[in-house]
Chains A and B, each alone.
Chain A
Amino acid sequence: MADRGDTHYHVPTLNNWFLVSSLLLLITVVWMVVEDWNAPWKRYQREFQSIELERINTMLQTEALVAAADEEGSIQVEVEAARGALLARAEEIATAEEEMRQLKGEQFVNTEGAKGAKMFYNWERFLLDHDVSVHGDDPAYEDELAAAETSVAAFELEMNKAAGAKETTDLEVIAQQARLDELTAEVDVLEKAMKASAKDLDIVRKRKDDIEPGALDKQIAHVLRDFPGIDFIGPNLKIRKVVLDNLTFELNFTKKTRIDMCQTCHLASELPGYDEPELEEPYRSHPRLDLYLSAKSPHPLTDVGCSICHRGAGEALDFIRADHRPNSDGPASWGKDRAEWQEDHHWHKQHHWDYPMLAKDFTEASCVQCHKSSMELIAEDAPKVTEGYRLFERYGCYACHKVDWFPNKRKPGPSLKNVAAKLEADFMQSWISGPKKFRPTTWMPQIFHLENYAADEVVVKSEYGGKDGRDIMGQEWNDSAVAAISAFIMESSGEFDLGPIPVAGDSERGREVFRVSGCLACHNVAPYGEPHPLNRDPALERTGENEHGPNLRGVATKVTAEWLYSWIKDPQKYWGETRMPNLRLTDQDAADITSYMMEDPDGIFTEVPEGWEPAASPYDVETLREQARWFFTRVGRVALEARFNGEDPDFPWDDEGALLLAVGEKYVRHQGCYSCHDVSGMENEMPIGVELSNWGSKTVDKLEWGSMADVFAKRHGWSQDDRDEFSHYREGWLEQKLGEPRSYDRDKLKNPTEKLRMPWFEFEPEQIRSIATFVIGLVDDEVQLAKMVPTHEQAAMDTGMRAVRQHNCAACHTIAPGTVSFEDEEGNHFTLPSEIQLIGDSSIPPIHGTLEDLQADIREYEEEFDEEVEEITLRLWDTVPGVGAAFSNAYSSPDAITNVTPPEGGDFVRTVASYYKEGILTLDDPEADDPFDRYLPWNFGEEGEVEDVDRELRLYIEEPYEKLRWTFAPPVLVNEGSKLQRDWFYNFLLEPVELRPQMRVRMPTFNFEPGQAAAIADYFAVRSAKEWPARYARNLRFSLGTERSDSGPAEGVLDWPALVHDITGGTGLSLAEMSSATAISEEDLAAIEAGYQPVIEAKFSDLKDYGDAQGFRMSGAPSTSYERVMRRSPSYLSDRGDALSDRGDALSDRVDAPRLGARVALEGVKVCFECHWNNGVRPGAAPTEGGETPVGLPIKWAPDLTHARDRLREEWTHDWFWKPPLTYPGTAMPENFANSPPQYQEVYPGSSNEDQIQAVLDWLYNFDKVPLSTQN
Chain B
Amino acid sequence: MDVTTLTLIELRDALRSGTVTSVEATRAYLNRITAHDDAIGAYLTVDAEGALAQAAAIDAARAAGQSAGALAGVPMGLKDIFLTKGLRTTCASKVLEDFVPIYDATVVERLRAAGVVVIGKLNMDEFAMGSSTENSAFKKTHNPWDIERTPGGSSGGSSAAVAARLTPGTLGTDTGGSIRQPAALCGIVGLKPTWGRVSRFGVIAFASSLDQVGPMGRTVRDVALLEEVIAGYDPRDSTSSQREVPTGLADLPRGADLRGLRVGLPREYFPESGLDPQVSSAVYAAVEQLKALGAEVKPVSLPHSPLGVAAYYLVATAEASSNLARYDGVRYGHRAKADDLYGLYARSRGEGFGLEVKRRIMLGTFALSAGYYEAYYRKAGQVRTLILRDFEAAFSEVDVIATPTSPTTAFKLGERMDDPLQMYLADIFTISCNLAGLPGLSLPCGFDNRGLPIGLQLLGRAFDEPTLLRVGAAYEDATTWHTRAPAEPFVARAGGAA
Question: A and B, one complex?
Answer: no
